[in-house]
């Protein structure tokens, strides 16, 4: 016996109101959206507690995950975050003012700059990653391990979609 949930209700309503809008992938899409929202809701309080916006978090963890010396060219950082150069620059400016990143001359290109995490930025990035990972783990806590493994495998297969 299958139990009905919020997504089933939404799809049933669209099936009745506009059935031609639904596709075989509609349920998958809606469930991914619901899960993404749940992850966002779990992460938001953690970031707020650390005084970070989601964009600031993305920048500092991208720099931290790049490995020592925790720096990248602005264009590489923008590309890895899927942000515009202007958007990345605005976030970096905020982080510079707060002392979490610094702009430095690019050692490989005297005309360019790189963005580097400061010691305070490294500490904050590590604290933020640990706290958000714990929040995400809490969200999934109670799911059987085999369910998590099957879902992970299915999402890995879906991740092979062509880039747009």
The two tokens of residue 9 are 């209700």
pLDDT of amino acid 162: 65
User: Per-residue pLDDT averaged across 57-80, rounded?
Assistant: 94
**Is 164's pLDDT higher than 60?**
no
- Other CB atoms within a 10 A radius of the CB of residue 59 amount to 28
Q: What is the mean pLDDT of residues 77-96?
A: 90
pTM: 0.85
Task: Tell me the per-residue pLDDT of 3-51, one tens digit each, with 9 for 90 and over.
Answer: 688 899 999 999 999 989 999 899 999 999 999 999 999 999 999 999 9
The predicted structure's pLDDT at residue 80: 87
What is the Cα–Cα distance from 22 to 18, expressed in whole angstroms?
Answer: 8
Average pLDDT, the chain: 91
């Amino acid at each position: 016996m299958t139990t009905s949930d919020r997504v089933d209700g939404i799809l049933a309503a669209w099936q009745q109101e506009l059935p031609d809008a639904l596709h075989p992938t509609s349920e998958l899409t809606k469930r991914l959206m619901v899960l993404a929202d749940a992850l966002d809701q779990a992460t938001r309080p953690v970031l707020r507690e650390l005084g970070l916006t989601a964009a600031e978090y993305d920048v500092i963890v991208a720099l931290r995950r790049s490995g020592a010396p925790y720096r990248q060219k602005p264009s590489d950082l923008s590309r890895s975050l899927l942000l515009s150069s202007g958007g990345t620059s605005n976030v970096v400016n905020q982080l510079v003012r707060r002392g979490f990143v610094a702009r430095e001359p690019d050692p490989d290109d005297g005309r360019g700059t790189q963005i580097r995490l400061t010691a305070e930025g490294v500490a904050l990035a590590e604290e933020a990653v640990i706290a958000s990972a714990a929040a995400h783990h809490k969200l999934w806590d109670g799911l059987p391990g085999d369910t998590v493994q099957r879902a992970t495998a299915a999402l890995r297969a879906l991740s092979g979609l062509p880039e747009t």
